[in-house]
Structure 1
Amino acid sequence: MSTSPSPTTAAQLDARYPVLAELSAPARAQLLRSAQWMRVPAGAMLFDDRQACEGFPFVVEGSVRVSKCAPNGRELPLYRVGPGETCIISSSCLLGHEDYNARGVTEADTELMLLPKPVFDAMLGERAFRDFVFHLFAERIADLMQLIEEVAFRKLDQRLAALLLGKGRTIHTTHQHLADELGSVREIVSRLLKGFAEQGLVRLGREQIEILDATGLRRLAADGSAKPG
């Protein structure tokens, strides 16, 4: 962890987060003076359930996967935080003075700037920063509502079909990774994929899935049927 970025990283920060240029000169100086810079390898846990929130992250490079974890080890992915985005869990914990209620893990080598809580509180007095936080807060809430709708009202085979679409004809992934994406378990996903293969929708290989019938997958994702009604 360091307290000052390289000139290149500082330029990337400004490019990712234009709101910083809208801050008053004293506020921007305070932010940059107090910020803590971190380079974190892929697979590192940034925060976990019931852990105190130390600050507000700005992701310059990389990606952070935020998930809700069950006692049995299963996870439900909530969202990802990429460059230029913010973490709603961190925002809500800082605003509500609560501990984390989810887990954040880096998906790639990640560089981020962490704004300590006292400075985050001070920055909320800046209208541009406050509007930025609450605008992205609203966007994340909308994403989470969509996730709740999918989990509550769509069957797992529909969600799996939707997940496979849009990734190209050949998808290099594991059944475990797909299960993690869906908040399910590998055995169930493997069984569903075998069913997809038997219907001629996909061809399964070692850590590879080839899409054979994208139209059928889209139909399955939409109404639960791979064949025309």
Structure 2
Amino acid sequence: MAHLVELTVPRGKILFAPGSSCQGFVLLLEGVARVSVTAANGRRLLLYRVSPGETCVQTTLCLMGGLEYSAEGAAETDLRLVVVPPVLFERLLRESPDFARFVFERFGARLAEMTRLIETIAFLRVDARLAAALLARADGEGELGATHQDLAEDIGAAREVVSRQLAEFQRAGLLRLGRGRICLADRKALADLASADLACVTHVTDFSRGMS
């Protein structure tokens, strides 16, 4: 692996698309990539982001199952990465316990994250999901530059729904909307909104698992 060539990828470049085959196992060294799916009506949903030290479950599934991609991957920032060719990936899985543990531990963590995403979309109200997304994107000053479309993709909702909810948050004094910027005015209230609904989801899903 020390001989693998380091690659740079510019922000916005598409890494893979639905129906494409996997060219290798990506090890991200710097930057953030995003993986999303798009419905027939054009609505896009963010599945997860990949940061250094994390892996892409879509890529792992494609390599181990001989499948094609079913989602789109894109560079959210400029990236530095190396690509482990499929033949070397399979060899490392067989011969390196450390590499195999790295792959499967992160694969399991990513699947758990996607399960939580499904639960969130299924059970959380839009206002709670949006509050959580705003807090996750905000910087130390409580500001973020995400568009309404970006937030809609984060929470699996229509852009129009997000715009209406943001306007309601502004009327309630929770945030201020500006040109291309959102400033959180009451982070505690947003956190309370997100966590209260999440507690209800945890109770419901724990009960369901107990019944099963």
TM-score, normalization: structure 2?
Answer: 0.85
Distance 1:183 1:153 in 2: 12
Q: Which residue of 2 aligns with 1:132?
A: 102
Q: Which residue of 1 aligns with 2:208?
A: none
Secondary structure of the residue aligned to 2:29 is strand
CA RMSD of superposed structures (Å): 1.6
From 166, 170, 184, the equivalent of 1:193 is 166
Secondary structure of the residue aligned to 2:35 is strand
Distance 1:79 1:173 in 2: 16
Q: Which residue of 2 aligns with 1:116?
A: 85
Could you tell me which amino acid in structure 2 is paired with residue 145 of structure 1?
T
Secondary structure of the residue aligned to 1:209 is strand
Percent of matched pairs sharing the same residue: 42
Distance 1:154 1:170 in 2: 24
Q: Which has the larger displacement, 47-56 or 67-76?
A: 67-76
Could you tell me which amino acid in structure 2 is paired with residue 127 of structure 1?
P
Kept in 2: contact 1:175–1:207 (CA 8 A): no
Q: Which residue of 1 aligns with 2:177?
A: 204
Distance 1:216 1:128 in 2: 44
Report how far residue 36 of structure 1 moved.
4.6
From 155, 161, 164, the equivalent of 2:131 is 161
Structural mapping, 1:15-54, within 5 Å: 31-33=1-3, 35-54=4-23
User: Gapped runs of 5+ residues in structure 2?
Assistant: 198-212
Could you tell me which amino acid in structure 2 is paired with residue 186 of structure 1?
R
Secondary structure of the residue aligned to 2:169 is helix
Kept in 1: contact 2:121–2:156 (CA 8 A): no
Report how far residue 103 of structure 1 moved.
0.8
Kept in 1: contact 2:143–2:184 (CA 8 A): yes
Kept in 2: contact 1:59–1:111 (CA 8 A): yes
Q: Which residue of 2 aligns with 1:85?
A: 54
Higher Cα Rg: structure 1 or 2? Answer: 1
User: Gapped runs of 5+ residues in structure 1?
Assistant: 1-30, 225-229
Report how far residue 201 of structure 1 moved.
1.5
Could you tell me which amino acid in structure 2 is paired with residue 199 of structure 1?
A
Kept in 2: contact 1:67–1:103 (CA 8 A): yes
